[in-house]
Amino acid sequence: MQETLVRPLSTDGASLLQIPLWRVRLKLFLRSIKTNLCLFSENPIGLVGVVLIIFFFLFMSAHPILMKFVWDPTIYDPVMGFESAIAEHPSAPSPGHLLGTDPMGRDVLSQLMWSTRAAFVLGLIAASVTAIIATTVGAVTAYYGGLVDTIFMRLADIIIMTPGITILIVLATLVDLQMIHLAVVLGVLAGFGGTTVIIKSQALTIKVRTYIEAARIAGGSDWHIIFRHIIPNLLPLAFLYMMFGVTTAIFTESVLSFFGLLNIRMSWGLMIYQTSVSGYLMDMSKWWLIYPASLSITMLCAAFYLVGRAMDEIINPRLRKR
Amino acid sequence: MRRYLIQRIGQNLFTFFLFLTLVYLLLDAQPGDFGNIYLNDSRLTAEQRQVIREQLGLNRPVMERYLSWLGSLFQGDLGLSFSNSMRPVISIIAERAPRTIILFLSVTILANLLGFAMGKMLAWRRGGAVEYAATIAGVGLFTVFVPWFALMMIWLFAYKFNLFPLGKFIDPVLWREATVEANTIFLRMMLTGLLTAAAWISWLFATRRFNPGWRKAARWVGTLIILTLPITYWATNGLGRYAADILHHIALPVLTITIVNFAGTMLLTRSSMLETLREDYIMAARAKGLPEAMIRDKHAARNAMLPTVTSFILALAFVMNGGVITETIFSWPGMGLTLLKAAQTQDIPLVIGSLVFTGALALTAHLGADLLYAFLDPRIRVS
């Protein structure tokens, strides 16, 4: 990214002044995206992940449209719906219900699609909270060092030492935990925990670069340096850990719902929990009650993880093939 | 190095102390208190409840209760479990902790050995179709929804092929006439296992100085001899069939979690190997004309091992995360299942006890990691 910065500046100074700065920045930004996309598309593993994510995104977007135009809400609502035309529930897949119905007479496909949105929202909220906290804390601790550093690193130590799922299970049994709470708690835990340590070590290498020193000599304040020079350089890494964060968040939510500990309308984990409560967990002849939800969890988690790995190979040049 | 170790031990102990404080305060801040469950008897009047609450010390300020809890913790007293007819928490932990530790210790060791070997090969054969397939399969296993995968394994091996029992720790029919407790046998199995492992590892170290010509033969013969000793011990003491029953029950959980866990190590070793393979000393080794297998195993893999060791130790620290899931699915009566049951019945002393156990496990693992790092990384050892 640094080499590309030089080119527009090396052109004639007078003509440069006529171009507004934001345009130069936009051009640079698009160019860096283009190079990174090229690098990314060389990696078939990352592409598998992207295709899966796009598939789930379309799958999720189709639900409101279907509900509005095709499906009758009284039958197909993921939580309140009931299929009265079929006498016995759970019923096997049929033209009206492509993935059958669950023991309470609701459409499994509709539940699956609705839960995709829940998974996306949860994962992205948790990962964004993580990224924001980890980048800010990592940059600030690396820049100031000293007492700030000690406090936040000890905090990170405690969080790393704490088994997250175990604590969340205990908390979820004692208090009423909703999806959005869980997303924020997961984000905060990861943000102050392991991710901060990784981002901080990266920030330490940026802090000693010459352009930071140049910014300081030019009279930039601490906050200016942190937010305009250090954090932008941390963003690729933060974005990478966002991908892994999404995986963790979706997995944790599914486990907690699987134990029936969350107060949410519908999710993949909850679908399996309801299967288990109604006693169909080991009944493989009713495969549509457990396979679709479990496979969706696995595939969406894997998709984000694959994208994260592919990005890792771009951001970390030591892993590149050439 | 001594300064480094003392510093790390001090930091870890301090973190553990903070963890204990956090656990206590977190559970104390929850709605309701210990007394609500204990006093759940409708025949009691409000005044009687108040008296009992005062006798239990539940009306005292938080700091006072915290300090007295901390005091009894250091005397090994974790209180009584409400849901287990007032049995001391410490005895419940002593009974169930070995089951969790053994299950996950064997799984973690197996998974890491397998993952390291596979990851090494993957990095070595980079770019082929095999590598892509293995990576995608590895990521799939790494992110698989564990409860579902475990159910599939139970369905396949226990139900369809009828190879293993469906779950639980022992078969009650077989144990009806047993004169010894299951835990006694389990502890003895643990001891023999540890002794065998120790003997085997020291034999491997002892043979390092042997002549390379017959080193391999010596290792195999030694391994066979070391393996026959515990087998004859269990075959002759009359308790063999009980031990075999426990082994029969532990096999499927071990198999399942190993398959889930090895993928993580495999992917990590692969990345770490790829970084190491770019180092100059690998090129130097190639230029010397060393055989490829030697470059891979002795020069690259040894240096790529450090992150794998960390992940191994951290996996031990997070045993409880997986423990709750796996033990619930396999109804394995270890600490994970205990914690979940205790949390669901609001048996706060047992919850706190289990969390203290979890923290102690993590503390031990982290201390072990620091020791190993000091041993493995010369940069720490020398300075």
- Taking alpha carbons only, the member of B335, B334, B332, B340 closest to residue B356 is B335
Q: Please report the pLDDT score of residue B382 as a whole number.
A: 61
For residue A10, pLDDT over 60 is answered with no
Q: What is the pLDDT of residues A127-174, one digit of tens each?
A: 999 999 999 999 999 999 889 988 898 888 888 877 788 888 888 888
For the ranges A196-200, A210-214, B40-44, B347-351, the lowest mean pLDDT is seen at: B40-44
- Taking alpha carbons only, the member of B319, B278, B271 closest to residue B116 is B271
B275 close to A (CB below 8 A):
yes
The answer to whether the Cβ–Cβ distance between A166 and B11 falls below 8 Å is no
For residue A317, pLDDT over 70 is answered with no
Q: Within 10 A of A302 (CB to CB), how many other CB atoms are there?
A: 22
Classified as helix, coil or strand, A270 is: helix
Confidence of residue A2 (pLDDT cuts 50, 70, 90): very low
Is residue A269 a contact partner of residue A297, using CB atoms and an 8 Å limit? Answer: yes
**Does an H or E element contain A299, and which?**
helix A291-315
A4 close to B (CB below 8 A):
no
In chain A, positions 70-109, which contact chain B (CB-CB < 8 Å)? none
The DSSP 8-state label assigned to residue A171 in this structure reads: H
For residue A65, pLDDT over 80 is answered with yes
The half-sphere exposure of B265 on its side-chain side, counting CA atoms within 13 A, is 29
Backbone angles phi, psi at B343, to 5 degrees: -65, -40
Q: Within 10 A of B169 (CB to CB), how many other CB atoms are there?
A: 21
B155 close to A (CB below 8 A):
yes
Chain Cα centroid distance, residue B354:
14
The chain-wide mean pLDDT, for chain A, equals 85
Q: Please report the pLDDT score of residue A3 as a whole number.
A: 44
Report residue A237 as tokens.
Answer: 């890494």
Report residue A111 as tokens.
Answer: 């539940």
For residue A212, pLDDT over 70 is answered with yes
For the ranges A8-12, A135-139, A220-224, B37-41, the lowest mean pLDDT is seen at: A8-12
Does domain A36-68+129-319 bear CATH number 1.10.3720?
yes
In this predicted complex, what is the ipTM?
Answer: 0.83
Q: What is the pLDDT of residues A23-36, one digit of tens each?
A: 888 888 888 888 88
Whole-Å CA distances, A169 to A73, A176, A258, B127: 34, 11, 11, 41
- Taking alpha carbons only, the member of B305, B343, B310, B307 closest to residue B324 is B343
What are the residue boundaries of the structural domains of chain B, listed by start?
Answer: 2-84, 95-180+239-381
Q: Which residue has the tokens 């003509």?
A: A15
Q: If you write DSSP's letter for every residue of A71-125 in order, what string do you get?
A: S-HHHH-TTT----S-SSSS----SSSTT-B-TTS-BHHHHHHHHHHHHHHHHHH
Q: Which residue has the tokens 């169930």?
A: B96
- Taking alpha carbons only, the member of B310, B290, B307 closest to residue B298 is B290
The answer to whether the Cβ–Cβ distance between A161 and B317 falls below 8 Å is yes
What are the residue boundaries of the structural domains of chain A, listed by start?
Answer: 36-68+129-319
Classified as helix, coil or strand, B332 is: coil
Report residue B260 as tokens.
Answer: 């889930």
Whole-Å CA distances, B160 to A282, B165, B221: 11, 11, 38
Amino acid (one-letter) located at B19: F
- Taking alpha carbons only, the member of B270, B142, B321 closest to residue A49 is B142
Is residue B258 a contact partner of residue B114, using CB atoms and an 8 Å limit? Answer: yes
Q: Please report the pLDDT score of residue A1 as a whole number.
A: 42
pLDDT lower than 70: segments of chain B: 31-40, 379-383
Q: Please report the pLDDT score of residue A318 as a whole number.
A: 62
In chain A, positions 236-255, which contact chain B (CB-CB < 8 Å)? 247, 251, 254-255
The answer to whether the Cβ–Cβ distance between B145 and A298 falls below 8 Å is yes
Chain B residues whose beta carbon lies within 8 Å of the beta carbon of residue A258: 147
Architecture of domain B95-180+239-381: Orthogonal Bundle (1.10)
- Taking alpha carbons only, the member of A92, A55, A19 closest to residue A295 is A55
Candidate from B127, B139, B358 with C-beta closest to A302: B139
- Taking alpha carbons only, the member of A217, A267, A265, A294 closest to residue A80 is A265
Q: What crossing angle do the helices spanning A194-207 and A231-258 adopt, rounded to 10°?
A: 170
By percentage, how much of chain A surpasses pLDDT 90?
31
The answer to whether the Cβ–Cβ distance between B321 and A163 falls below 8 Å is yes
Q: Please report the pLDDT score of residue A12 as a whole number.
A: 54
